Amino acid sequence: MGDIVAGEVPKLQTLNSSDFRHYSKHVKDNVHGFIQLDPLALKFIDTEQFQRLRDLKQLGVTHLVFPGAVHSRFEHSIGVYHLAGEAVNELKRYQGSELGIENFDIQAVKIAGLLHDVGHGPFSHMFESGFLPKVLGGGAKWSHEDMSERLVDYMVDEHHIEMEDAMLKKVKGMIVASTEHGSAYRVKDKRFLYDIVANGRNGIDVDKFDYIVRDSRACGLGCNFQFERLLQTMRVMDDEICYRAKEYLTVSKLFITRADLHRTVYTHAKVKAVELMVVDALLKANNHLQFSAKIHDPAEFWKLDDTIIKRIEIDPHPALKESRDLIARIRRRDLYQYCNEFTVPRDDLEHFQEVTAKDIICSQVSGGVTLQEDDVVVSNTKIDLTRGKNNPLASVKFFQDYDVDENFTIGEESISQLLPSCCLDRIVRVYSKKPELVASVSEAFENFQQHKYGRKTQVHGTPQKKKQRTV
């Protein structure tokens, strides 16, 4: 996308259709084609806080394994803005008078789609779920949705963006709709509007529509999920977005495709190795650069982006040496060594406790090298269909046809016998920080499985050539 310049715009409330067209801009997106950006959207886009999203890769460090995955949160946010508008306009086209959808509602949904990810930190989810929990401790809570909400307020005040208080409140409510904090914005009127961008009720939203297709394309993967079918057949019943029963397989494909992306791309073993190294580099640099001190102040937070790695890399300060060394290892492809993994048996899922490096080293038998806790990294990965063990289809409402005013859920036994009976995977992976320790870590990992489950649950043994590596 090229640079977007909004210029001087009259008061948004006074724009007629001709003015609106004159002060709008078009950009060409590689997924959705031409997208029209309205004047209010442009006021947010042409801020340094939104432009920062160009320096946040959508998939964090995934491009180091899938070279094409260099797309940014900027592109994704524009895409969600577009799809949010498509969705609400589709509902207005067929049910506008019935639902009371106004231009005010359409604008709010689109702006919520535009700004829903503005609160992401460096390397997106890795910062939130990998780095911050280790800095803040288990009890502290921080989410990019909450930061997005705070940044919207900051952007409006900092750039004097004209926006009605009612719309501002609605936009923020739609951004945090799927979080616990979203309950503060719960409304009785037009509740369905809050399910378009981030759907906490059934997990079907335009955010997923965009990233599933965009990420699949960037990583060179095929994608047979067609969100257009859902956009064109959805209908609001009892203040909830429902889908035509004929599209039950399309809905199922949404959840399955998302889970497949998590398994093959987002949690790829090599991607996780790089993530673990970046997290360690940030942790070692935090005392000096104080990244974590900026996460509560929007005025400081927006200055953090993926370039913090380059900042560490070129800063000669002695306090950053360990971090610089880790980044150099990433550059030279001297990564933490993936040793092996196992999937937690189904009967043990309910009471599963995350495996730690201490669990692994305590499983080492005597003799040879004595492993230290800092030699081992364990990654506990959760992959589900958005509802943990439960099938998300149970939360989706369907209707038989457009002339019938009754909605219902479809039991999984009525859909396909090929659907999984369990909708949750927990994968435990172990990594050695040093190549020469792979054999010892792998053996300790096998011993842990034997002790925990009475057998080795990993599918393959660690390759001998990997075990025989030296420095």
Structural domain contains residue 7: no
Structural domain contains residue 316: no
- Residue 58 in this model has a pLDDT that exceeds 60: yes
- Range in 83-97, 125-139, 151-165 the model is least confident about: 125-139
Q: Can you spell out the DSSP letters for 137-189?
A: -TT----HHHHHHHHHHHHHHHTT----HHHHHHHHHHHTTTSGGGGGG--SS
Average pLDDT over residues 367-383: 93
The tokens describing 181, both together, are 């904090």
The model's pLDDT over 323-344, given as tens digits with 9 standing for 90+, comes to 999 999 999 999 999 999 999 9
The model's pLDDT over 218-276, given as tens digits with 9 standing for 90+, comes to 999 999 899 999 999 999 999 999 999 999 989 999 999 999 999 999 999 999 999 99
443: containing domain: 337-383+424-471
| DSSP letter, residue 127 | I
What's the pLDDT score for residue 2?
46
The reply to whether 46 and 172 lie within a common domain is yes
Structural domain contains residue 85: yes
Where among 239, 269, 299 does a domain terminate?
A: 269
- Residue 18 in this model has a pLDDT that exceeds 70: no
CATH number at residue 113: 1.10.3210.10
The reply to whether 206 and 115 lie within a common domain is yes
The reply to whether 246 and 341 lie within a common domain is no
Average pLDDT over residues 351-380: 93
The model's pLDDT over 67-106, given as tens digits with 9 standing for 90+, comes to 999 999 999 999 999 999 999 999 999 999 999 999 999 9
Q: How many angstroms separate the CA atoms of 123 and 449, rounded?
A: 32
The reply to whether 100 and 179 lie within a common domain is yes
What's the pLDDT score for residue 378?
98
Residue with tokens 């010892």: 440
CB 381 within 8 A of CB 427: yes
The reply to whether 252 and 368 lie within a common domain is no
What's the pLDDT score for residue 144?
96
* Angle, CA 335 vertex, CA 334 and CA 338 arms, to 5°: 135
The reply to whether 174 and 92 lie within a common domain is yes
- Residue 415 in this model has a pLDDT that exceeds 70: no
At 137, the pLDDT band (50, 70, 90 cuts) reads: confident
The reply to whether 187 and 88 lie within a common domain is yes
Average pLDDT over residues 128-156: 92
Share of the chain above pLDDT 70, in %: 92
Structural domain contains residue 355: yes
CB 369 within 8 A of CB 437: yes
The reply to whether 170 and 262 lie within a common domain is yes
Residue with tokens 């960037």: 218
Q: Which residues are catalytic?
A: 144
Q: How far is CA 141 from the centre of its chain?
A: 17
CATH number at residue 367: 3.30.70.2760
The reply to whether 257 and 341 lie within a common domain is no
The tokens describing 57, both together, are 């890769």
What's the pLDDT score for residue 19?
61
SS3 category, 106: helix
Structural domain contains residue 28: yes
Where among 237, 269, 301 does a domain terminate?
A: 269
Average pLDDT over residues 404-414: 84
Q: How many angstroms separate the CA atoms of 115 and 174, rounded?
A: 10
The model's pLDDT over 436-449, given as tens digits with 9 standing for 90+, comes to 999 999 999 999 99
- When the pLDDT of each residue in the chain is averaged and rounded to a whole number, the result is 92
The reply to whether 223 and 361 lie within a common domain is no
Rg, Å, the chain Cα set: 24
- Residue 4 in this model has a pLDDT that exceeds 70: no
At 203, the pLDDT band (50, 70, 90 cuts) reads: very high
Q: How many angstroms separate the CA atoms of 149 and 62, rounded?
A: 27
The reply to whether 162 and 262 lie within a common domain is yes
Structural domain contains residue 255: yes
Where among 220, 250, 269 does a domain terminate?
A: 269
Structural domain contains residue 328: no
At 23, the pLDDT band (50, 70, 90 cuts) reads: confident
Give first-to-last CA distance, the chain, whole Å: 44
The tokens describing 137, both together, are 């401790």
Number of compact structural domains in the chain: 2
Q: Residue 197: which of 86, 70, 71 has the closest Cα?
A: 86
Which pTM value belongs to this model? 0.93
- Residue 7 in this model has a pLDDT that exceeds 90: no
Structural domain contains residue 442: yes
Dihedral sign of CA atoms 331, 333, 336, 342 in order:
positive
- Residue 411 in this model has a pLDDT that exceeds 60: yes
The reply to whether 162 and 30 lie within a common domain is yes
